[in-house]
Structure 1
Amino acid sequence: MLLFDILYVVFLLALVVLMFNIMILVHELGHYWAALWRGLVVERFGIWFGKPILRTHINGVEFVIGCIPAGGYVQLPQMAPMEAIEGKSDMTREELPPVKPLDKIIVAFAGPLFSFLLAVVFALIVWVVGRPVPEADSTTVIGFVPKYSPSAVAQPAPANKDVAPGLRPGDKILSIDGKPVEKWSGIGKSVHWQVVSSQNDTIRIEVQRPGVEKPLAFDVVPFREPKAFYQRRSLRQIIVGAQYTVVVAEPIPGSPAAAVLKSGDRILEINGVPVHNQQQVAKFLQDQHKGYWGLDAFTPVHDVMDRVIPNPERAVVLTVDRPDPATLHTESPRYERLTLPAIIPVAPKKPGGMNVLLGYSELTEFRLRHDTPWDQIGNSVYAMYSTFAALLSPRGDIGLQHLSGPAGIINTYYILLSGEYGWRMVLWFSVLINVNLAIMNLLPFPVLDGGHITLALLEAARAPISIQVLEVVQLGCVMLIMGFMMYVTFFDVQDFGSGGGKRRKPPEIQF
Structure 2
Amino acid sequence: MTWKILFIAFFFGFCIFIHEFGHLVAALWQGLRVERFSLGFGKKLFGFKRFGVEFIVSALPFGGYVALPQLDPTDQPVTSDGEKLPPGRPLPRAITAFAGPLFNVLFGFALATVMWLVGVWEPVPARSCVVVEVPPTLPLYKDGLKMEDHIVALNGEPVHAVWEELCFSIPADAPEQTVTVNRNGEAIDLRYTPEPNPEWLAGLRSGDRIVAVNGKPFKRGTEELQMEYVYSDGPEVELTVLDGEERKVISYVPAPNPMMENLGLPFFVARNPVTLGGVLPGTPAADVGLQVGDQLLALNGQSILSARKLLADIEALQGEPFTLLVARQNQEITLPEMRLAGDVSAKSLGLLFAVTVRTVVPDTPASRAGFQPNDRLVAVNGEEVTDSEMFTEIVRASDGKPLDVTVIRDGKERVLSNVQAKPVTIDGKEVYQVGLALIDSVPRIIGHPSPWEQFENVVSTTGRTLKLLFKPLTAKLGGAPAGRAQVKVRHMSGPLGIILMLWYKLKLEGLRGGLSFIILITFSLALINLLPFPVLDGGHILFAGIEGITRRRMPVKVMLVLQNVFAFLLIALMVYITFFDGSRIFKRLRLFFAEPAPVQTEAPAQPAEAETAPEALPEAAP
Q: Which residue of structure 2 aligns with residue 371 of structure 1? A: 449
CA deviations 1:306-337 (Å, max 9, x no partner) are: xxxxxxxxxxx96363489xxxxxxxx99999
Maintained 8 Å contact 1:209/1:216: yes
**Match for 1:41 among 14, 28, 33?**
33
The aligned amino acid for 1:169 is: G
How much has 1:58 moved relative to structure 2?
2.7
**Match of 1:398, SS?**
coil
Q: Which residue of structure 2 aligns with residue 237 of structure 1? A: 266
| Cα 1:267–1:376 shift into 2, 3 Å | closer
**Match of 2:486, SS?**
coil
Q: Which residue of structure 1 aligns with residue 133 of structure 2? A: 145
Q: Which residue of structure 2 aligns with residue 122 of structure 1? A: 111
**Match of 2:553, SS?**
coil
CA deviations 1:465-493 (Å, max 9, x no partner) are: 24444333322222211110111111112
Matched, 1:444 2:444: no
How much has 1:38 moved relative to structure 2?
1.2
Q: Which residue of structure 2 aligns with residue 191 of structure 1? A: 225
Maintained 8 Å contact 1:443/1:450: yes
Matched, 1:418 2:507: yes
Q: Which residue of structure 1 aligns with residue 22 of structure 2? A: 30
Maintained 8 Å contact 1:140/1:173: yes
Maintained 8 Å contact 1:243/1:277: no
Maintained 8 Å contact 2:352/2:385: no
Q: Which residue of structure 2 aligns with residue 292 of structure 1? A: none
| Cα 1:353–1:223 shift into 2, 3 Å | farther
CA deviations 1:80-102 (Å, max 9, x no partner) are: 259xxxx9942547x22443211
How much has 1:109 moved relative to structure 2?
0.9
Task: Please list, as runs of the form range in 1=range in 2, the aligned pairs for 1:61-140 lying within 5 A after superposition.
Answer: 61-64=53-56, 72-80=64-72, 89-92=79-82, 95-135=84-124, 138-140=126-128
**Match of 1:62, SS?**
strand
Q: Which residue of structure 2 aligns with residue 161 of structure 1? A: none
Matched, 1:380 2:450: no
Maintained 8 Å contact 2:134/2:204: no
Matched, 1:57 2:86: no
Task: Please list, as runs of the form range in 1=range in 2, the aligned pairs for 1:303-318 lying within 5 A after superposition.
Answer: none
| Cα 1:225–1:88 shift into 2, 3 Å | farther
Q: How many residues align?
A: 407
CA deviations 1:185-209 (Å, max 9, x no partner) are: 55xxx31122223345542211234
Q: Distance in 1 between matches of 2:427 and 2:119?
A: 46
Maintained 8 Å contact 1:246/1:276: no
| Cα 1:199–1:97 shift into 2, 3 Å | closer
Q: Which residue of structure 1 aligns with residue 515 of structure 2? A: 427
The aligned amino acid for 1:239 is: F
Matched, 1:173 2:221: no
| Cα 1:205–1:389 shift into 2, 3 Å | same
Maintained 8 Å contact 2:121/2:445: yes
**Match of 2:102, SS?**
helix
Matched, 1:14 2:6: yes
**Match of 1:90, SS?**
coil
| Cα 1:138–1:337 shift into 2, 3 Å | farther
The aligned amino acid for 1:237 is: P
How much has 1:509 moved relative to structure 2?
6.6
How much has 1:41 moved relative to structure 2?
0.9
| Cα 1:234–1:383 shift into 2, 3 Å | closer
How much has 1:276 moved relative to structure 2?
3.8
| Cα 1:483–1:371 shift into 2, 3 Å | same
Q: Which residue of structure 1 aligns with residue 251 of structure 2? A: 219
The aligned amino acid for 2:219 is: E
Q: Which moved more, 1:146-155 or 1:56-65?
A: 146-155
CA deviations 1:232-285 (Å, max 9, x no partner) are: 44434242222244899xxxxxxxxxxxxxxxxx9999xxx986459989xxxx
The aligned amino acid for 1:379 is: N
Q: Which moved more, 1:167-176 or 1:38-47?
A: 167-176
Q: Distance in 1 between matches of 2:429 and 2:102?
A: 54
Q: Distance in 1 between matches of 2:270 and 2:229?
A: 13
Q: Distance in 1 between matches of 2:486 and 2:256?
A: 10
How much has 1:79 moved relative to structure 2?
1.1
Maintained 8 Å contact 1:34/1:106: yes
**Match of 1:218, SS?**
strand
Q: Distance in 2 between matches of 1:145 and 1:451?
A: 49
**Match of 2:452, SS?**
helix
| Cα 1:334–1:496 shift into 2, 3 Å | closer
Q: Distance in 2 between matches of 1:358 and 1:509?
A: 7
Maintained 8 Å contact 2:73/2:560: yes
Higher relative strand content: 2
| Cα 1:171–1:451 shift into 2, 3 Å | same
The aligned amino acid for 1:431 is: I
| Cα 1:200–1:382 shift into 2, 3 Å | closer
Q: Distance in 1 between matches of 2:253 and 2:432?
A: 34
- The two structures have a TM-score, normalised by structure 2, of 0.56
**Match of 1:414, SS?**
helix
Matched, 1:482 2:482: no
**Match of 1:418, SS?**
helix
Matched, 1:203 2:194: no
How much has 1:218 moved relative to structure 2?
1.5
Maintained 8 Å contact 2:71/2:93: yes
Matched, 1:402 2:394: no
How much has 1:352 moved relative to structure 2?
4.1
Task: Please list, as runs of the form range in 1=range in 2, the aligned pairs for 1:210-359 lying within 5 A after superposition.
Answer: 210-212=244-246, 215-226=247-258, 232-245=261-274, 276=305, 319=346, 321-322=351-352, 352=427
Q: Distance in 1 between matches of 2:233 and 2:430?
A: 37
Maintained 8 Å contact 1:70/1:406: no
The aligned amino acid for 1:20 is: F
- The two structures have a TM-score, normalised by structure 1, of 0.67
How much has 1:77 moved relative to structure 2?
0.8
| Cα 1:239–1:374 shift into 2, 3 Å | same
**Match of 1:371, SS?**
coil
Q: Distance in 2 between matches of 1:132 and 1:473?
A: 43
How much has 1:353 moved relative to structure 2?
5.6
Q: Distance in 2 between matches of 1:371 and 1:236?
A: 27
Maintained 8 Å contact 2:36/2:55: yes
How much has 1:147 moved relative to structure 2?
4.4
The aligned amino acid for 1:56 is: G
**Match for 1:182 among 202, 214, 219?**
219
How much has 1:377 moved relative to structure 2?
1.1
Q: Distance in 1 between matches of 2:573 and 2:385?
A: 58
**Match of 1:362, SS?**
strand
Maintained 8 Å contact 2:506/2:514: yes
Q: Distance in 1 between matches of 2:552 and 2:93?
A: 15
Maintained 8 Å contact 2:257/2:267: no
Q: Distance in 2 between matches of 1:361 and 1:466?
A: 61
Matched, 1:470 2:559: yes
